[in-house]
């Protein structure tokens, strides 16, 4: 549904050619993918009027079909594209932010293991009232606060070995240009209108709430009454102002149709149901600007400097800014990865990503993201981890204390998608000792350290056709290894890396039980026990090799150490080789095998004072 265009002053620019070729000529932008790391050249010297930008649109683009947009076959050779939410810079990161990064990182790394080109974007959301007030409290300019905190999030991505290709900031000039263009297209199509707005506004959540979504509460510390959001519990304040609105209600039917045609669009299913219920019962037109008198830290509304664009419109556009918007030409719209294959978000921002964002895209006939992974929260002592209350775990301290891959393992193994998860140091120690030290590290030591046998010899003799001493045991273990890749890949397609990791680790636990049962150290003492030893070690080594290949997505550092000690060629560490018997040329370590407990893959934890 379209509305009458806003009447604007005529423009003196040429108006006789509205073809796609004219658009390319007008903007002077080649249809090439943006380089890595992201640096974008602005193709013109300043703001272009809305009329001209309208004539520069992709007139040949067909509106997307919600029933087919999610099919991979529709976009040939599109790179895999996954995003994290962009993080507010009003305070430092905690492990909840790291968890979002890790989920996206694993999804990207998994696709790379499958041989697909893949991109990951993370970054910081630097506009809005929360940032403006945080800067005022610290008595620093907002940009100074943004520069400092944004760099902290960038450092976190580096420290945690996040393989992000882009780090976007909403203060980037190219992002501002994309937002201005996006806004102008919405207004051009009649989706933006101006009116007086009054309602309950939450600074913490950066959104208005309807009367049905607020309630009176009592502050347990002060005993004072306040009005709060039912949804988040944050305080709201009554606000009356003149601003711009987006005709969200005009897209209700299209949203509901899209949800019906894509019932698994949001993971988990419980949140998909929440999204549908919200649209059916709570949808209102969305206030998409704030008076500069109240909020001046943001992107001004084009042609109306008295208003600032709503931070969530600004922030959401980041996902297409990185993909090259608005400089898409017919045939190359998908070169930068859009539509995103997965948005990874926390469950507290589902409405913004799963109601507002697809509606904004639909208004411009742009395809929505293919999937949204909405993960649960991390708790401390059953309380939600929150920057505003200080109830957080500093991820840098955790990485320093436990090591990068230990933290990655714990968060991915214990983290929740549907249900919240509890963080405690005791739980980290438990996972370390059971899964990493006693499981993975123990198996690697059993296979590679003893001088009694050789992995290389075991591979050569068993692959050479020696008589199978334990045919039933061999076949049973082989079946576990063969089925693992398919099971793990199915979980990854369901956007559940945690379950995939648990399946991989179950193979490790099973292989340890297999080795314990087969007892190669006892067979080695028998006069004719060499054949049995070689078979036992071969099966264990194959299990560990396949698991090591898969674990590269989860613990890239430790997985590389495992494969190095097994002697696996770096060119043979993709999913193509993650099959039982797919590699027969490994077995000689690529690095020196260390001695002593501290040389183990996962050494004993230091004793606490």
What is the per-residue DSSP string for 67-136? Answer: TTTT-GGGSTTPPEEEEPPPEESSS---HHHHHHHHHHHHHHHHHHHTT--EEEEEEEE--SHHHHHHHH
Give the residue among 129, 165, 133, 169 at the shortest CA–CA distance from 149. 169
For residue 387, being part of any structural domain is answered with yes
HEC per residue, 544-591: HHHHHHHHCCCCHHHHHHHHHHHCCCHHHCCHHHCCCCCCCCCCCCCC
- Could you give the number of structural domains in the chain? 2
Same domain flag for 156 and 303: yes
Residue 416 lies in a domain: no
Residue 526 lies in a domain: yes
The enclosing domain of 28 has a CATH number of 3.40.50.620
Structural contact between residues 121 and 132, judged by C-beta atoms closer than 8 angstroms: no
Cα atoms in the Cβ-side hemisphere of radius 13 Å centred on 151 = 5
Choose one of 375, 395, 415: the last residue of a domain: 395
> Is the domain of 387 the same as that of 449?
no
Q: What SS3 class is residue 322?
A: helix
| Residue 592: predicted pLDDT | 81
Residue 405 DSSP SS3: helix
pLDDT tens-digit map of 149-169 = 999 999 999 999 999 999 999
- Asked if residue 400 is part of any domain, the answer here is no
Q: Is the pLDDT of residue 598 over 90?
A: no
Residue 344 is assigned to a structural domain of this protein: yes
Q: Is the pTM of this model over 0.85?
A: no
Residues 237 and 371 in one domain: yes
Residue 420 lies in a domain: no
Token pair, residue 110, equals 């998994």
pLDDT band at 11 (very low <50, low <70, confident <90, very high): very low
Cβ neighbours for 389, distance < 8 A, ≥ 6 positions apart: 383
Are 45 and 171 found together in one domain? Answer: yes
d(CA 489, CA 549): 13
For residue 392, pLDDT over 60 is answered with yes
CATH number at residue 584: 1.10.730.10
Query: Could you identify the residue written with the tokens 């029933």?
Result: 67
Q: Are residues 265 and 341 in the same domain?
A: yes
- Same domain? 391 vs 465: no
Spatial CA neighbour of 252 closest among 279, 276, 272: 279
**Ramachandran bin of 416, using left for φ above 0, alpha for ψ from -120 to 50, beta for the remaining angles:** beta
Tell me what pLDDT residue 457 has: 93
* Residues 470 and 514 reside in one and the same domain: yes
Residue-number span of the structural domain to which 63 is assigned: 20-395
Higher local confidence (pLDDT), 51 or 376: 376
Mean pLDDT of 231-255: 88
| DSSP bridge pairs for 166 | 121
Q: How far apart are CA 385 and CA 396, in angstroms?
A: 16
Q: Which of 395, 419, 446 delimits the end of a domain?
A: 395
> Which of 76-85, 428-437, 590-599 is the least confident region?
590-599
In the structure encoding, which two tokens stand for residue 417, read together?
């998608």
Last residue of a domain, one of 395, 416, 451: 395
How does 239-274 read in b/e, with b if 16+ C-beta sit within 10 Å? bebebbbbbbebbeeebeebbeebeebbbbeebbeb
40-44, 52-56, 219-223, range with the lowest pLDDT: 40-44
Both 26 and 166 in a single domain?
Answer: yes
Q: pLDDT digits over 310-328, tens only?
A: 999 999 999 999 999 999 9
Same structural domain for residues 243 and 288? Answer: yes
Calculated CA dihedral for residues 42, 44, 49, 50, nearest 10 degrees: -50
Mean pLDDT, the chain, integer: 85
**Structural domain includes residue 609:** no
Q: Is 103 part of any domain?
A: yes
383 and 451, same domain (yes or no): no
| Cα atoms in the 13 Å half-sphere on the side-chain side of 497 | 32
DSSP 61: P
- My answer on whether 282 and 158 are in the same domain is yes
- If pLDDT is split at 50, 70 and 90, which confidence band does 607 have? low
Q: Give the model's pLDDT for residue 91.
A: 87
- Output the CA–CA distances (angstroms, integers) from residue 418 to 270, 378, 496, in the order listed: 8, 12, 10
Same domain as 566, residue 458: yes
């Amino acid at each position: 549904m379209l509305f009458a265009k806003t009447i604007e002053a005529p423009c003196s620019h040429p108006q006789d050619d509205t073809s796609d070729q004219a658009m390319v000529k007008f903007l002077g932008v080649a249809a090439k993918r943006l380089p890595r790391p992201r640096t974008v050249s602005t193709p013109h010297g300043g703001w272009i009027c809305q009329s001209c930008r309208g004539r520069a649109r992709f007139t040949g683009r067909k509106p997307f079909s919600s029933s087919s947009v999610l099919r991979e076959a529709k976009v040939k050779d599109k790179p895999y594209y996954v995003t994290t939410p962009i993080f507010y810079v009003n305070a430092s990161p905690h492990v909840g932010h790291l968890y979002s990064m890790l989920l996206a990182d694993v999804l990207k790394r998994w696709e790379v293991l499958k041989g697909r080109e893949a991109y990951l974007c993370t970054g910081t959301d630097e506009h809005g009232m929360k940032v403006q007030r945080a800067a005022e409290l610290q008595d620093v300019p907002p940009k100074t606060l943004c520069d400092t905190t944004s760099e902290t999030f960038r450092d976190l991505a580096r420290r945690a070995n996040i393989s992000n290709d882009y780090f976007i900031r909403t203060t980037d000039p190219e992002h501002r240009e994309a937002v201005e263009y996006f806004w102008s297209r919405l207004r051009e199509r009649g989706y933006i209108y101006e009116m007086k707005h009054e309602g309950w506004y939450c600074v913490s959540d950066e959104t208005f709430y309807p009367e049905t979504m607020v309630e009176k509460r009592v502050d347990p510390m002060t005993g004072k009454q306040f009005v709060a959001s039912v949804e988040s519990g944050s305080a709201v304040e009554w606000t009356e102002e003149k601003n711009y609105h987006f005709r969200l209600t005009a897209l209700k039917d299209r949203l509901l149709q899209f949800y019906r045609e894509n019932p698994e669009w949001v993971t988990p299913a419980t949140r998909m149901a929440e999204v549908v219920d919200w649209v059916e019962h709570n949808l209102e037109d969305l206030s998409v600007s704030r008076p500069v008198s109240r909020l001046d830290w943001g992107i001004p509304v084009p042609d109306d400097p008295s208003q600032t664009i709503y931070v969530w419109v600004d922030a959401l556009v980041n996902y297409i800014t990185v993909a090259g918007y608005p400089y898409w030409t017919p045939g190359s719209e998908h070169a930068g990865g859009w539509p995103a294959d997965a948005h990874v978000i926390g469950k507290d921002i589902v409405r913004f990503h799963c109601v507002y964002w697809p509606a904004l895209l639909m208004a411009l006939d742009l395809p929505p993201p293919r999937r949204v992974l909405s993960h649960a929260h991390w708790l401390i002592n059953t309380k939600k981890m929150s920057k505003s209350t200080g109830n957080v775990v500093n991820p840098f301290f955790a990485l320093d204390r436990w090591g990068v891959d230990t933290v990655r393992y714990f968060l991915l193994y214990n983290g929740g998608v549907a249900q919240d998860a509890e963080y405690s140091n005791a739980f980290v120690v438990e996972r370390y000792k059971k899964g990493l030290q006693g499981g993975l590290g123990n198996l690697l030591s059993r296979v590679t350290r003893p001088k009694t046998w050789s992995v290389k010899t075991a591979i050569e003799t068993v692959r050479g056709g020696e008589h199978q001493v334990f045919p039933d045991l061999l076949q049973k273990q082989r079946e576990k290894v063969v089925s693992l890749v398919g099971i793990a890949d199915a979980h990854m397609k369901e956007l559940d890396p945690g379950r995939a990791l648990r399946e991989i680790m179950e193979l490790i636990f099973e292989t340890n039980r297999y080795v314990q049962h087969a007892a190669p150290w006892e067979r080695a003492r028998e006069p004719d026990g060499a054949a049995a030893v070689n078979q036992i070690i071969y099966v264990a080594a194959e299990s560990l090799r396949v698991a090591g290949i898969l674990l590269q997505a989860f613990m890239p550092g430790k997985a590389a150490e495992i494969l190095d000690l097994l002697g696996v060629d770096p060119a043979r560490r993709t999913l193509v080789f993650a099959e039982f018997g797919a590699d027969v040329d490994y077995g000689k370590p690529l690095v020196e095998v260390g001695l002593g407990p501290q040389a183990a893959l996962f050494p004993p934890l230091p004793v606490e004072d």
